[in-house]
């Protein structure tokens, strides 16, 4: 099926990297276009006029936006190497947890970065930890979030690598092995897999990432 | 095959009503359990949705599912009659995109605009109108977002078809007018006129009284629980 697939993405965006990871896991060839978020290209704005964001998948000239929507589209269009389970109930669970990560964990962890003062930061951290505990629980008795092999929820949970990155660049310690042994073990397992490792921020780009985060928090608080 | 289908909901919640509508559209029999979401959530609800502790929850053969859009997709995949999603993967992706847009951007903006204090209202209304304008464009002259028949996006937009007008009446502030958004306005009529939809909407006067009662107090944005 020689169809044209383009991905507009950004190297430091976990949402963008999710889609890349799914494409790689499913063995779908694609052309990658790196977007400078401070200077978005006309193609991106034309294809995603409503949100003007990455990631944006363009398949046969038709654009699909929103990473979770894109993941489902990939699974339905390319049937091999499915990332979502077949059973409707298990699919519902995968979607539920995907939503939890994006709608609860992410905004809560963003609050940590935007906190002013120690007390506010500690409170935000506590909220993050409560939510991480819930996620940790989901790994009980499982090799991966999706069961015996990597799937949709592992792809969506990629933001946990970003939590780890924050620590490695001297940021806040969100994920300790004492508190979250299973999540930490899951991260270790995953980053040993080549395609997964290709889809996260490489060590040599950590400084660039820190600069980006600083710029983002400055503009968020201005 | 006797199946056990239960819905834990709240009479005034658009999210809860979405689930009921989808089940009705597909002719699925279910038992409805009304939750007192403001004062006294039942132990069963808390057991079946420990993460969010909210309605709606669908219970199918003892297995619980929370989050209305997740439930709608489950309903679609489990009961195949009267599909609410298109077959084509791209059209399906578009439907999911719009449903997400409604929940992530549109509904919060509309709610905020409805209840903003005077000094914040202008900006809130502007944002809400941007969302409505986008939806007007998405409708693109069709009878329903789903095309010829009610689909996932129409169901997800139920708040706009019914609740919004009632809030407008309660607050005296108009957001969705026929002049500004003719297609969307017409859609609200088409949607609530469907008999199955009508049956699955909370009574207008009861909702109006509810909003009027709470008009003075501060209200949080609508999430799965609060309405």
A89 touches chain B (CB under 8 A): yes
Between the CA of residue B136 and those of A118, B145, B180, B215, what are the distances in Å?
45, 10, 10, 28
Contact A158, A145 (CB under 8 A): no
Predicted local distance difference test score (pLDDT) of residue A220: 67
Strands A31-34 and A5-9, bridge-based pairing: parallel
Q: How does DSSP classify residue B175?
A: -
- Asked if the Cβ–Cβ distance from B90 to A68 is below 8 Å, we say no
* ipTM of the shown complex: 0.94
- What residues in chain B have per-residue pLDDT under 50? 1, 225-227
Cβ-based neighbours of A122, under 8 Å, separated by 6 or more: none
H-helix segments, A60-175: 67-77, 88-100, 106-114, 118-138, 152-156, 159-168
* Contact residues on chain B for A99, CB-CB shorter than 8 A: 67, 69-70
A53 touches chain B (CB under 8 A): no
Predicted local distance difference test score (pLDDT) of residue B2: 58
Report the C-alpha gap between B75 and A14 in whole angstroms. 30
Scored b (16 or more CB within 10 A) or e, B145-171 reads bbeeebbbbbbbbbbbbbbbbbbbebb
Q: For A134-144, what is the mean pLDDT?
A: 95
Closest Cα in chain A to B94: A64
Percent of chain A's residues with pLDDT above 70: 97
Predicted local distance difference test score (pLDDT) of residue A2: 45
Report the C-alpha gap between A152 and A94 in whole angstroms. 7
| Each residue's pLDDT tens digit, B56-66 | 999 999 999 99
Between the CA of residue B81 and those of A171, B1, B71, B193, what are the distances in Å?
52, 16, 16, 21
A136 touches chain B (CB under 8 A): no
Distance of CA B122 to the CA centre of its chain: 25
CA distance A119 to chain B (A): 24
- Asked if the Cβ–Cβ distance from A66 to B100 is below 8 Å, we say yes
- The dihedral built from the CA positions of residue B215, B221, B222 and B224, taken in this order, carries a sign that is negative
Mean pLDDT of all residues belonging to chain A? 91
* Interface probe with B: pick from A69, A92, A106, A108, most Cβ of B within 10 Å: A92
- Asked if the Cβ–Cβ distance from A69 to B60 is below 8 Å, we say no
Measured between CB atoms, which of A66, A96, A99 is closest to B97? A66
């Amino acid at each position: 099926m020689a169809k044209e697939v383009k991905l507009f993405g950004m190297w430091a965006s976990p949402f963008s990297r999710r889609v890349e990871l799914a494409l790689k896991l499913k063995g779908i060839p694609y052309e990658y276009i790196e977007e400078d978020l401070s200077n978005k290209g006309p193609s991106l704005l034309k294809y995603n006029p409503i949100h003007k964001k990455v990631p944006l998948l363009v398949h046969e000239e038709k654009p699909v936006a929103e990473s979770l929507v894109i993941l489902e589209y990939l699974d339905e269009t390319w049937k091999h190497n499915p990332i979502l389970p077949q059973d409707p109930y298990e699919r519902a669970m995968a979607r539920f947890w995907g939503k939890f990560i994006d709608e609860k964990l992410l905004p809560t962890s963003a609050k940590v970065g935007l906190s002013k003062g120690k007390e506010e930061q500690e409170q935000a951290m506590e909220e993050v930890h409560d939510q991480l505990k819930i996620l940790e629980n989901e790994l009980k008795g499982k090799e991966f979030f999706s069961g015996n092999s990597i799937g949709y929820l592992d792809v969506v949970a990629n933001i946990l690598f970003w939590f780890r990155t924050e620590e490695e660049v001297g940021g806040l310690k969100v994920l300790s092995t004492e508190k979250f042994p299973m999540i930490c073990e899951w991260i270790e397992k995953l980053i040993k897999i080549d395609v997964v490792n290709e889809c996260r921020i490489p060590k040599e780009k950590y400084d660039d990432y820190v600069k980006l985060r600083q710029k983002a928090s400055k503009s968020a608080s201005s | 095959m006797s199946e056990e289908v239960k819905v834990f909901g709240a009479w005034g919640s658009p999210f809860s009503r979405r689930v009921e509508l989808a089940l009705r559209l597909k002719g699925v029999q279910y038992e409805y359990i009304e939750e007192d979401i403001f004062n006294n959530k039942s132990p069963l609800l808390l057991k079946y949705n420990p993460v969010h502790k909210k309605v709606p929850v669908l219970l199918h053969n003892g297995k619980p599912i929370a989050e209305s859009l997740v439930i709608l997709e489950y309903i679609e995949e489990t009961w195949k009659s009267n599909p609410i999603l298109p077959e084509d993967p791209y059209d399906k992706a578009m439907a999911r995109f719009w449903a997400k847009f409604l929940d992530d951007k549109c509904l919060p903006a509309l709610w905020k605009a409805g209840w903003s204090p005077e000094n914040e209202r202008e900006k809130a209304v502007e944002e809400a109108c941007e969302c409505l304008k986008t939806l007007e464009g998405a409708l693109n002259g069709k009878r329903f977002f789903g095309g010829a028949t009610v689909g996932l996006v129409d169901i997800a937009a139920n708040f706009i078809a019914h609740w919004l007008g009632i809030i407008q009446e309660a607050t005296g502030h108009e957001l969705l007018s026929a002049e500004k958004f003719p297609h969307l306005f017409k859609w609200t009529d088409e949607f609530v006129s469907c008999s199955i939809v009508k049956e699955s909407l909370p009574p207008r006067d009861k909702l109006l009284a509810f909003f009027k009662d709470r008009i003075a107090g501060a209200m949080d944005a609508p999430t799965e629980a609060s309405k």
